[in-house]
Amino acid sequence: MPAHIPLPLVHEPRPGTFAVGDGTSIGADGDARRAAWVLHDVLAGAGVRAPVVPAADPAATIVLRVAAPVRDSAEGYRLTVTPGRAVLEGGSAEALARAVQTFRQLLPPAALRRAPVGDAPPEIGCCVIEDAPRFAWRGVHLDVARRFMPVAFLLRFIDLAALHRLNVVHLHLTDDQGWRIEIPAHPRLTDVGSWRTETVVGRTGTFDGTPHGGFYTLDDLREIVAYAAQRSITVVPEIDLPGHVQSVLAAYPELGNTGQPVEVRRTWGISTNVLAPTEEALAFARDVLDTVLDVFPGPWVHLGGDECPRTEWRESPAAAARAAELGLASVDELQSWFLRRLHEHVTGRGRRVVGWDEVADDGGMPADTVVMAWRGSEHGIKAMAAGHDVVMSPEDVTYFDHYQDGGDGEPLAIGGLTTVEDVAAWEPPSGGGPGRLLGVQGQHWTEYLPTPAAVEYVAFPRLSALAEVAWTAPERRDAADLLRRLPAHLRRLDALGVNYRPLDGPRPAQRGGTGRRQRA
Ligand code: ACM
- Asked if 24 and 61 count as a contact pair (C-beta separation under 8 A), the reply is yes
Radius of gyration of the chain, Cα coordinates, nearest whole angstrom: 24
What proportion of the chain, given as a percentage, has pLDDT over 90?
93
Amino acid at 121: P
- Residue nearest atom 1 in ligand 1 by C-alpha distance: 306
The pLDDT assigned to 125 comes to 97
Average pLDDT value for residue range 348-374 = 98
The catalytic residue among 75, 143, 159, 175 is 175
pLDDT digits (tens, 9 = 90+) for 114-166: 999 877 789 999 999 999 999 999 999 999 999 999 999 999 999 999 999 99
The pLDDT assigned to 120 comes to 79
The pLDDT assigned to 130 comes to 98
The catalytic residue among 307, 332, 422, 481 is 307
pLDDT digits (tens, 9 = 90+) for 410-468: 999 999 999 999 999 999 998 778 999 999 999 999 999 999 999 999 999 999 999 99
- The gap between the terminal CA atoms of the chain, to the nearest Å, is 31
Q: CA-CA distances (angstroms) from residue 176 to 233, 238, 332, 427? A: 28, 13, 21, 33
The pLDDT assigned to 513 comes to 46
pLDDT digits (tens, 9 = 90+) for 280-332: 999 999 999 999 999 999 999 999 999 999 999 999 999 999 999 999 999 99
The pLDDT assigned to 118 comes to 79
- Asked if 212 and 198 count as a contact pair (C-beta separation under 8 A), the reply is yes
> How many C-beta atoms surround the C-beta of residue 415 within 10 A?
11
Side-chain-facing half-sphere of 278: CA atoms under 13 Å: 15
- Rounded Cα distance, 389 and 514, in Å: 39
User: Burial code of 42-71, b = ≥16 C-beta within 10 A, e = fewer?
Assistant: bbebbbbebebbebeeeebbbbbbbeebbb
- Rounded Cα distance, 158 and 425, in Å: 25
Q: Ligand 1 center to residue 399 CA distance, Å?
A: 9
The pLDDT assigned to 517 comes to 37
Of residues 330, 322, 334, the one with CA closest to residue 243: 334
Residues ≥6 apart with Cβ < 8 Å to 297: 225
Overall size of the chain counted in residues: 520
- Asked if 81 and 54 count as a contact pair (C-beta separation under 8 A), the reply is no
244 catalytic per annotation: yes
Q: Ligand 1 center to residue 389 CA distance, Å?
A: 18
The pLDDT assigned to 509 comes to 60
The pLDDT assigned to 32 comes to 98
Q: Can you list the domains of the chain with their CATH numbers?
A: 10-131 (3.30.379.10), 137-512 (3.20.20.80)
219 catalytic per annotation: no
- Residue nearest atom 2 in ligand 1 by C-alpha distance: 374
307 catalytic per annotation: yes
> Would the pLDDT of 511 be above 80?
no
- Residue nearest atom 3 in ligand 1 by C-alpha distance: 306
pLDDT digits (tens, 9 = 90+) for 464-491: 999 999 999 999 999 999 999 999 999 9
Give the orientation angle of helix 462-471 with respect to helix 452-459, to 10 degrees. Answer: 50
> How many C-beta atoms surround the C-beta of residue 253 within 10 A?
15
Average pLDDT value for residue range 25-30 = 98
pLDDT band at 339 (very low <50, low <70, confident <90, very high): very high
Task: Determine the longest span between alpha carbons in the chain, in angstroms.
Answer: 77
- Asked if 310 and 331 count as a contact pair (C-beta separation under 8 A), the reply is yes
325-328-329-330 Cα dihedral, nearest 10 degrees: -80
Question: What average pLDDT is seen over the chain?
Answer: 96
356 CB near ligand 1 (under 6 Å)? yes
pLDDT digits (tens, 9 = 90+) for 37-65: 999 999 999 899 999 999 999 999 999 99
Which atom of ligand 1 is the closest one to the Cα of 244? Answer: 3
- Rounded Cα distance, 57 and 396, in Å: 52
399 CB near ligand 1 (under 6 Å)? no
SS (H, E, C) 280-317: HHHHHHHHHHHHHHHHCCCCEEEEECCCCCCHHHHHCH
374 CB near ligand 1 (under 6 Å)? yes
Count Cβ atoms within 10 A of the Cβ of residue 436 and give its class: 0-12 exposed, 13-18 middle, 19 or more buried: middle
- Asked if 369 and 352 count as a contact pair (C-beta separation under 8 A), the reply is yes
